[in-house]
Amino acid sequence: MAMNVQNIDYGRVDEVVDTLHEAFYDYPVMKFVLGADAPDFRRLHERMTRLFVMGRVYSKEPLFGIGDPNRLAAAAIVSLPETDGTPDALHEYRQQVWATFEPAARCRYDKYVSACASFDIDLPHHHLNMVGVRKAHKGTGLGRALVEHVIRKSDRHEDSHGVSLTTELASNVSFYERLGFEVTGHIEVAPGFETWNFFRQRKT
């Protein structure tokens, strides 16, 4: 498959959601927030993935993908350096969606967000919210291609000082380090659940 990264039109948002839903199905954050043993885990996982993707859509931020016209093989969502705050429509959408989750799930999510807040980088930059590859395409370099695409976007953006991201898999740490990221924070959110924050400073 070609490694060409595409800007994905919002009309294909369902494809982005489906791609990331598959890629992140066993991801530690999702299991922590939703509860790995939740009887309706699949439905809740799709809903939470959509919540994250729609955050970028409501904020008019980019969706990236690799694939053919009929099916994405990999996708990424990104927050841009410039922001006017959370749009009212996004705030309302989040409130509506969170009302459909159990309160305990919201509490666990807030605990995770609070832990990550200690990693805040006080410089305008791109934040790579999610990057995921469908299972059939794992190990083919698509994830790397998406990350490098975001890095190039940041390097060409005069107001961006770099790219940040988090991971909850220890096995990902060396992968991001090879791409020039440095660990800027590491914390155990709950027993057996850790998160690492990375930042790659813009190259001039």
Q: What is the pLDDT of residue 2?
A: 63
How many helices (DSSP H) and strands (DSSP E) are in the chain? 7, 7
What is the model's pLDDT at position 62?
A: 95
CA distances (Å), 48 to each of 43, 53, 80, 151, in order?
9, 9, 21, 26
Supply the angle between the helices 13-23 and 41-58 in degrees, to the nearest 10.
130
* Helix, strand, or coil (residue 160): coil
pLDDT at residue 120 in the model: 85
Low-confidence ranges of the chain (pLDDT < 70): 1-2
- pTM for this model (two decimals): 0.95
133-173 pLDDT tens trace = 999 999 999 999 999 999 999 999 999 999 999 999 999 99
98 vs 94: CA distance, rounded Å: 6
Total residue count of the chain as it appears in this document? 204
Question: Looking at residue 71, what is its pLDDT?
Answer: 92
Q: Which of 133, 66, 55 is nearest to 91 (CA)?
A: 55
Model pLDDT, residue 70: 84
CATH code that applies to domain 6-201: 3.40.630.30
